[in-house]
């Protein structure tokens, strides 16, 4: 039975919280590795006077540096991670009604690029234990309109890329890896973003490295890189005269300010991920054997720990995941339930297919496969992935004392609610 005295002692019930100081956060300098190098490069831009990537040098340097860090030949920078995914899909030169298979457990940014290319997202289910796409579900969703696969490396943990790539090879499909949450994560010794045809990254405030907002696509494919560059710059081959625009494309040009932060941040990324791995590894060790929770199984992967996940054993503890989250938050440990707060099926724009006016395009395109539905019963793993895991917020500012506080708090809550 739960220990009544220990439950009353929890901060959520008026007890003294484990932490009396704020936890390091990605929203300020406490959880970010920012400093003099970033300031120096930003001042260089002001002194030079050119803030646009064409005429400046920072974005070009950043593209080269980030691609080289991953052993790729090309980097195409953009204004956000959402933009990077749009650029990657745009590089495929799709026809209206074409289908891209991805996961329903993701930020809408993954799906937005598909829809803006007038293609239809098709959702494969996910493994509820890591939120990543299931290869068998990809295979089950392939049709004669399938033109690509976008696996997401959820929360710093790689998808099962052997299975994804085997299916892609079998059906001659390009693969775009969504690496927004998984900078420098490794799958069986290979960096994510280098296994498929393209890797798309986000540099939004919460990511492993940030330029405030920003994104990049990396690839070794020369033809893909050329079209991606054109797509991100209004289809404009700037070296050609007279000026021409070859096809419809947005303006996703990264500014020199973002590029400068990227130049400063890229050399720090390995250190940032090493810090996250060290502290997450220490927490794994401290929580081994704590009854009532389950820890992630990382045998085939080297995560970069965007968050730290654990699961409540509701047979052992008399508390729901939401209740466990609330108890941790009250103790001063920031966390959430679910790899994402919702599945894509829950968002209004997807449920009502609000895209271009009231048209419901591209689902209503005469070239689209008729009768496409998104049914909850087809995606049981996705629902579990957004309702069961506890995600403890993680960043490079976390130190040994913070790890100790997390371990003490998790243990305290488990002991209070143990059946």
Domain ranges of the chain: 36-267
Are 254 and 240 within 8 A, CB to CB?
Answer: no
Question: Which residues does the chain have with pLDDT short of 70?
Answer: none
Q: What is the DSSP letter of 125?
A: P
Alpha helices in 232-371 (DSSP H): 256-265, 269-287, 321-330, 348-351
Torsion of CA 189, 193, 196, 199, to 10 degrees: 180
At 228, give phi and psi (nearest 5°).
-60, -45
Separation CA 200–CA 215 (nearest Å): 7
Taking Cα atoms as reference points, which of 129, 403, 186, 393 lies closest to residue 285? 403
Distance CA 374, CA 397 (A): 40
CA distance 111 to 102: 8
Alpha helices in 23-146 (DSSP H): 36-48, 58-69, 81-90, 108-116, 135-140
Nearest alpha-carbon partner for 216 in 193, 248, 189: 193
- How far is Cα 87 from Cα 92, in angstroms, rounded to an integer? 9
Integer Cα distance of 214 and 168 in angstroms:
28
Domain 36-267 maps to which CATH number in 3.40.50.720, 3.30.470.20, 1.25.40.10, 3.40.640.10?
3.40.640.10
Give the three-state DSSP class for 263. Answer: helix
- Maximum separation of any 2 CA atoms in the chain, in Å: 79
pLDDT of residue 178: 98
Q: Indicate the SS3 state at residue 241.
A: coil
- The closest alpha carbon to 146, from 83, 179, 100, 190, belongs to 100
User: Is residue 266 within 8 Å of 65, Cβ to Cβ?
Assistant: yes
As beta bridge partners, residue 74 has: 219
CB atoms within 10 A of CB 29: 11
Give dist(CA 141, CA 197) in Å, integer.
20
* Closest to 85 in 3D by CA, of 34, 119, 51, 42: 119
Tell me the residue length of the chain: 419
User: Which pLDDT score is estimated for 314?
Assistant: 95
Residues with Cβ < 8 Å from 105, sequence gap 6 or more? 126, 131, 152, 154, 339, 340, 343, 344, 382, 385, 386
pLDDT digits (tens, 9 = 90+) for 288-344: 999 999 999 998 899 999 999 999 999 999 999 999 999 999 999 999 999 999 999
- DSSP character for 279? H
pLDDT of res. 300 = 85
Write phi, then psi, for 167 (nearest 5 degrees). Answer: -70, -40
DSSP 132: P
């Amino acid at each position: 039975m739960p220990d009544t005295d220990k439950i009353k002692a929890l901060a959520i019930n008026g007890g003294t919280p484990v932490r009396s100081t704020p936890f390091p956060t990605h929203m300020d300098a406490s959880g970010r590795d920012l400093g003099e190098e970033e300031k120096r490069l930003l001042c260089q831009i002001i002194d030079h006077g050119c803030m646009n990537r064409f005429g400046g040098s920072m974005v070009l340097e950043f593209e080269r540096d980030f691609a080289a860090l991953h052993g790729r030949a090309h980097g195409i920078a953009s204004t956000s991670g959402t933009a990077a995914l749009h650029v990657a899909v745009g590089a495929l030169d799709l026809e209206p009604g074409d289908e891209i298979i991805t996961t329903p457990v993701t930020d809408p940014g993954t799906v937005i690029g598909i829809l803006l290319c007038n293609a239809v997202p098709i959702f494969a289910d996910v493994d509820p234990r890591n939120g990543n796409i299931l290869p068998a579900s990809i295979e089950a969703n392939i049709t004669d309109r399938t033109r690509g696969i976008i696996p997401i490396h959820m929360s710093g943990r790689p998808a099962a890329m052997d299975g994804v790539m085997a299916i892609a090879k079998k059906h001659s499909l390009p693969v775009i890896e969504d690496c927004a949450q998984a900078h420098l994560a490794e799958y069986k010794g290979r960096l994510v973003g280098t296994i498929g045809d393209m890797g798309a990254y986000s540099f939004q405030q919460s990511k492993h490295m940030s330029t405030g907002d920003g994104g990049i696509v990396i690839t070794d494919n020369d033809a893909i890189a050329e079209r991606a560059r054109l797509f991100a710059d209004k289809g404009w081959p700037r070296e050609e005269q007279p000026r021409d625009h070859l096809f419809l494309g947005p303006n996703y040009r990264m500014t020199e300010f973002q590029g400068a932060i990227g130049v400063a941040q890229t050399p720090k990324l390995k250190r940032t991920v090493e810090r996250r791995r060290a502290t997450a590894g220490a927490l794994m060790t401290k929580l081994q054997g704590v009854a009532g929770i389950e820890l992630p199984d990382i045998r085939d992967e080297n995560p970069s720990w965007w968050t730290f996940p654990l699961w409540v054993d509701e047979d052992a503890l008399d508390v729901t995941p939401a209740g466990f989250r609330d108890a941790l938050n009250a103790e001063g440990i920031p966390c959430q339930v679910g790899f994402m707060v919702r599945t894509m099926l829950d968002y209004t724009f997807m449920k009502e297919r609000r895209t271009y006016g009231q048209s419901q395009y591209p689902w209503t395109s005469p070239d689209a496969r008729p009768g496409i539905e998104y049914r909850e019963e087809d995606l049981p793993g996705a629902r579990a992935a957004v309702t069961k895991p506890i995600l403890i917020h993680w960043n490079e500012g976390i130190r040994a004392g913070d790890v100790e506080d997390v371990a003490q708090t998790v243990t305290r809550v488990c002991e209070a609610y143990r059946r």
